[in-house]
């Protein structure tokens, strides 16, 4: 379980997050919805301890990670896999090397076992035949699947997705969303999805938090979003995609 308790964050004079509190339970999919530049991706980085809040606490599985040192955070980060918005694949490594990166870096596994796990992920992501290609030679959807495979390979409890369908064509978007849905059913995983596309929320999320002007203005099960009277939520429900 991941919890943000009264988290505030400033970049210079700009207040990005104001007293944000939210909880992500195990084996559930939580969406964080909001327009671009509002601090959604920042929330994911806070959950991983990549940035520290000015105020408040970030708690992962009962451990307060707010004041933790970088080396102590490595253990916490192994509980979470992250799929970055631009995929953040290591562009000098092949697809297989990208997938096996974590295993080679952090676990002292025999090379045969690593190859087996990489092959499993290649199959899961439907990328057979692309093992030795560099990320630049793949399409956007394929790269996103590699990024998901890379985040899954070390069997985390929770996956954090930063705009998983942004910039993808409708077919690739559908594939990615069904991949995310299958994770919970097949792998018993929880997920946090940051998005500005409301259809993605209704397609995969159990609950949704809406971030607006640095504050959470809605946090409940997805179905209840329709009942909200907040003007911003009414407007995004009618527009479907948040205008930036």
Residues in contact with other proteins, total (CB under 8 A)?
Answer: 22
CA-to-CA distance for 164 and 243, rounded, in angstroms? 17
Using CB under 8 A, pick the residue from 25, 78, 157, 174 that binds other proteins. 78
CB of 105 to other proteins, least distance (A): 5
Token pair for 225: 């979003």
CB of 128 to other proteins, least distance (A): 24
The 3-state DSSP class for residue 45 equals: helix
CA-to-CA distance for 161 and 56, rounded, in angstroms? 23
Span near other proteins by CB under 8 A; candidates 66-74, 170-178, 181-189, 194-202: 66-74
Span near other proteins by CB under 8 A; candidates 19-27, 28-36, 79-87, 196-204: 79-87
Task: With beta carbons less than 8 A apart as the criterion, state whether 143 and 135 touch.
Answer: yes
Element (H, E) at 172: helix 170-187
Using CB under 8 A, pick the residue from 88, 109, 134, 166 that binds other proteins. 88
Element (H, E) at 186: helix 170-187
Token pair for 230: 């907040």
Binding mask 106-135 for other proteins (x = CB under 8 A): x-----------------------------
Using CB under 8 A, pick the residue from 85, 94, 133, 228 that binds other proteins. 85
CB of 196 to other proteins, least distance (A): 18
Scanning residues 29 to 48, which ones bind other proteins (CB under 8 A)? 45, 48
CB of 126 to other proteins, least distance (A): 22
Query: Which segments within the chain are labelled E, that is strand?
Result: 2-11, 14-24, 29-33, 55-60, 63-64, 80-83, 158-162, 190-195, 207-212, 215-221
Task: With beta carbons less than 8 A apart as the criterion, state whether 165 and 186 touch.
Answer: no
Contacts with other proteins by CB under 8 A lie at: 45, 48, 50, 70-71, 74-75, 77-78, 80, 82, 84-86, 88-91, 101-102, 105-106
């Amino acid at each position: 379980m991941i919890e943000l308790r009264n988290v505030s964050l400033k970049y210079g004079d700009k207040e990005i997050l104001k007293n944000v509190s939210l909880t992500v339970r195990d084996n559930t999919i939580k969406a964080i919805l909001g327009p671009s530049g509002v601090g959604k991706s920042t929330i994911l980085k806070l959950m991983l301890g990549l940035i520290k809040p000015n105020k408040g606490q970030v708690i992962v599985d009962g451990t307060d990670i707010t004041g933790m040192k970088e080396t102590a955070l490595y253990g916490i980060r192994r509980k979470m896999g992250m799929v970055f918005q631009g995929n953040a694949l290591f562009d000098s490594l092949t697809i297989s090397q990208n997938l096996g990166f974590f295993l080679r870096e952090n676990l002292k596994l025999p090379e045969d076992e690593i190859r087996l796990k990489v092959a499993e992920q290649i199959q899961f992501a439907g990328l057979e035949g692309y093992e030795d290609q560099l990320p630049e030679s793949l399409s956007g959807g394929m790269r996103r699947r590699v990024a998901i495979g890379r985040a899954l390979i070390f069997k985390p409890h929770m996956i954090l997705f930063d705009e998983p369908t942004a910039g993808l064509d409708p077919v690739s978007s559908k594939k990615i969303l069904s991949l995310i849905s299958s994770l919970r059913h097949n792998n018993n995983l929880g997920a946090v999805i940051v998005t500005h596309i409301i259809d993605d929320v209704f397609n995969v999320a159990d609950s949704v938090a809406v971030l607006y002007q640095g504050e959470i203005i809605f946090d409940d099960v997805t179905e209840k979003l329709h009942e909200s009277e907040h003007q911003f939520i009414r407007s995004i429900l009618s527009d479907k995609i948040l205008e930036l």
